[in-house]
C-alpha cells in the first residue's frame, strides 16, 4: 500500500510553512508528501473563477496561483527535505511548464488531478517520460477515463487510478467507495482512493474494498485559511488512519484458510466441550437430549458435536450429575 499525504496549498505560499508540514508528517507512516506545482502564467488566465471565494488577499484566482509559486531552487529544497526525512516528494503539475520543472527535479512519479484527465497535451508529455502515473478519476466519466488511458497506453507507463470525488468536503453518499471494485474490474489496473472528506473512515473502508493507494489532504488545523482546510485531515488524525489502513491491507493480503483447523488444535482442547449428564441417571437409563449438557474442556467425554449418536443409547452404570459421558459408559 502506498500512502500519500497531500499538502497542496495548505502552505499558503509560505516556504517555511511548507517545510514545517514535511517535519510534521515525519513518523506518521506516510510514504510520500505531495504538493501542487502551480505556475500561474502557464496554467491560468484572468478569466478563471474561484472555486470557493475564500481569499481575503487575492483579487483573482490567477493572483492566488501566483502567490502559490515557488522557484526551482525552493522546490529542490522541499524535495531534498522530504527525502532526508524518508518520504517521497511528489507534486502534481498543472501546466507543461510545471512538468518541465518537475523533470528538472527528477521526480519518480506523477500524480495528476482529475481536472487534467482531458488534458491529453500534458498527459502525453508526462507519459513520454516513462515514469509512473497516478490518475485521479474525479470529475471524469468512464468515456473520459477510457480516452485518457488509451492515449497514454502506447508509452508503456505503469498507470494507477484513484477513485475521487471532486467536492470539498465530501460527505457520505459522495465518496464513491462502490466504484473501487468497478474500476479494478474495468481497467485491470491498481486502484486507490483520493479522499476529500476530512475524516479517517472513508480511507479505512476504501482499504477494505481493495484500495492499493491512499491520498488525503492534511492541514495543521481545519479552521485554517484556505480552500481545502475543511476537507483535510489534521496531522494527529493521520497516525490513526495510516496504522488502521496498513493493518487492514496486511490482513487482506495474508493468506488464510478455513480448509483445516489444525492451527487451533491446542485452543480447541480448551474451548470446545465434552458431553456430560445433567442429573443422576441409573444404569439402564435410555438417554435423551434433555439428559445432556456440554462442558469444557474437550477430550474428557464424547465430543459435544456427536450428541445425536448417544440419544437412545442405554447407560451401563449409574452416573452422577456433571459426570462426563464416554463411550465406555454406554451399552
At 278-291, the pLDDT tens digits run 999 999 999 999 99
Range(s) of the domain holding residue 42: 2-252
Count up the domains in the chain and report the number. 2
Q: H or E stretch including 235? A: helix 235-252
Q: Report which DSSP code applies to 1.
A: -
The C-alpha cell that represents 222 in the structure block: 481545519
| Domain co-membership, 304 together with 223 | no
State pTM to two decimals.
0.86
Q: In the listed set 190, 222, 252, which residue is the last one of a domain according to the structure?
A: 252
| Domain co-membership, 147 together with 274 | no
| Domain co-membership, 113 together with 246 | yes
CATH value at residue 58: 3.20.20.70
Q: Is residue 27 part of a domain?
A: yes
What is the rounded CA–CA span in Å between residue 285 and residue 319?
A: 10
User: Please, which residues have CB within 8 angstroms of residue 107's CB and are 6 or more apart in sequence?
Assistant: 79, 89, 90, 91, 131
CATH value at residue 269: 3.90.1210.10
Q: Is residue 243 part of a domain?
A: yes
Q: Is residue 219 part of a domain?
A: yes
> pLDDT category, 258, cuts 50, 70, 90?
confident
Q: Is residue 199 part of a domain?
A: yes
> pLDDT category, 55, cuts 50, 70, 90?
low
Q: Does the pLDDT of residue 57 top 80, yes or no?
A: no
> pLDDT category, 47, cuts 50, 70, 90?
confident
Structure confidence at residue 101 (pLDDT): 98
| Domain co-membership, 121 together with 208 | yes
Q: Does the pLDDT of residue 40 top 80, yes or no?
A: yes
In terms of pLDDT, which residue wins out, 131 or 61? 131
Asked if residue 276 lies in contact with residue 295, where contact means CB atoms within 8 angstroms, the answer is yes
What is the rounded CA–CA span in Å between residue 56 and residue 133?
A: 35
Q: Is residue 298 part of a domain?
A: yes
Q: Does the pLDDT of residue 302 top 90, yes or no?
A: yes
In terms of pLDDT, which residue wins out, 43 or 177? 177
Q: Is residue 235 part of a domain?
A: yes
Asked if residue 100 lies in contact with residue 44, where contact means CB atoms within 8 angstroms, the answer is no
Q: Is residue 55 part of a domain?
A: yes
| Domain co-membership, 238 together with 268 | no
What is the rounded CA–CA span in Å between residue 313 and residue 321?
A: 18
Q: Does the pLDDT of residue 48 top 80, yes or no?
A: no
3-state secondary structure 60-118: CHHHHHHHCCCCHHHHHHHHHHHHHCCCEEEEEECCHHHHHHHHHCCCCEEEECHHHCC
Computed over every residue of the chain, the mean pLDDT equals 94
Asked if residue 151 lies in contact with residue 181, where contact means CB atoms within 8 angstroms, the answer is no
In terms of pLDDT, which residue wins out, 328 or 9? 328
Q: Does the pLDDT of residue 319 top 70, yes or no?
A: yes
| Domain co-membership, 92 together with 212 | yes
| Domain co-membership, 60 together with 28 | yes
Q: Report which DSSP code applies to 274.
A: E
Q: What is the pLDDT of residues 114-158, one digit of tens each?
A: 889 999 999 999 999 999 999 999 889 999 999 999 999 999 999
The C-alpha cell that represents 305 in the structure block: 458435536
What is the rounded CA–CA span in Å between residue 282 and residue 260?
A: 40
Pairing of strands 32-37, 88-93: parallel
Q: Does the pLDDT of residue 6 top 70, yes or no?
A: yes
Q: Is residue 257 part of a domain?
A: no
3-state secondary structure of 242: helix
Q: Does the pLDDT of residue 46 top 90, yes or no?
A: no
Amino acid at each position: 500500500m502506498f500512502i500519500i499525504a497531500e499538502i497542496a496549498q495548505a502552505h499558503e505560499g509560505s516556504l517555511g510553512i511548507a517545510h514545517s508540514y514535511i517535519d510534521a508528517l515525519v513518523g506518521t507512516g506516510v510514504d510520500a508528501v505531495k504538493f501542487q506545482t502551480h505556475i500561474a502564467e502557464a496554467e491560468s488566465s484572468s478569466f478563471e473563477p474561484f472555486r470557493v471565494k475564500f481569499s481575503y488577499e487575492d483579487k483573482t484566482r490567477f493572483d492566488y496561483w501566483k502567490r502559490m509559486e515557488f522557484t526551482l531552487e525552493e522546490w529542490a529544497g522541499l524535495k531534498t527535505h522530504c527525502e532526508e526525512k524518508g518520504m517521497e516528494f511528489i507534486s502534481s503539475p498543472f501546466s507543461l511548464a510545471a512538468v518541465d520543472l518537475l523533470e528538472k527535479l527528477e521526480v519518480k512519479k506523477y500524480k495528476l488531478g482529475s481536472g487534467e484527465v482531458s488534458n491529453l497535451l500534458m498527459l502525453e508529455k508526462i507519459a513520454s517520460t516513462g515514469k509512473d502515473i497516478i490518475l485521479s478519476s474525479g470529475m471524469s466519466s468512464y468515456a473520459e477515463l477510457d480516452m485518457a488511458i488509451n492515449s497514454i497506453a502506447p508509452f508503456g507507463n505503469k498507470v494507477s487510478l484513484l477513485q475521487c470525488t471532486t467536492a470539498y468536503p465530501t460527505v457520505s453518499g459522495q465518496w464513491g467507495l462502490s466504484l473501487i471494485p468497478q474500476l479494478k474490474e474495468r481497467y485491470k489496473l491498481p486502484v486507490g482512493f483520493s479522499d476529500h472528506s476530512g475524516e479517517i473512515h472513508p480511507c479505512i473502508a476504501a482499504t477494505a474494498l481493495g484500495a492499493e493507494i491512499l491520498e488525503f489532504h492534511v492541514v495543521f488545523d481545519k479552521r485554517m485559511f484556505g480552500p481545502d482546510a475543511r476537507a483535510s485531515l489534521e496531522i494527529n488524525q493521520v497516525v490513526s488512519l495510516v496504522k488502521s489502513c496498513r493493518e487492514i491491507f496486511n490482513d487482506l493480503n495474508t493468506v488464510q484458510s478455513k480448509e483445516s483447523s489444525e492451527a487451533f488444535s491446542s485452543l480447541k482442547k480448551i474451548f470446545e466441550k465434552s458431553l456430560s449428564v445433567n442429573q443422576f441417571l441409573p444404569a439402564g437409563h435410555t438417554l435423551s437430549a434433555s439428559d445432556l449438557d456440554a462442558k469444557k474442556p474437550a477430550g474428557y467425554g464424547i465430543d459435544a458435536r456427536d450428541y445425536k449418536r448417544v440419544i437412545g443409547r442405554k447407560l451401563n452404570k449409574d452416573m452422577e450429575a456433571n459426570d462426563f459421558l464416554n463411550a465406555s459408559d454406554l451399552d
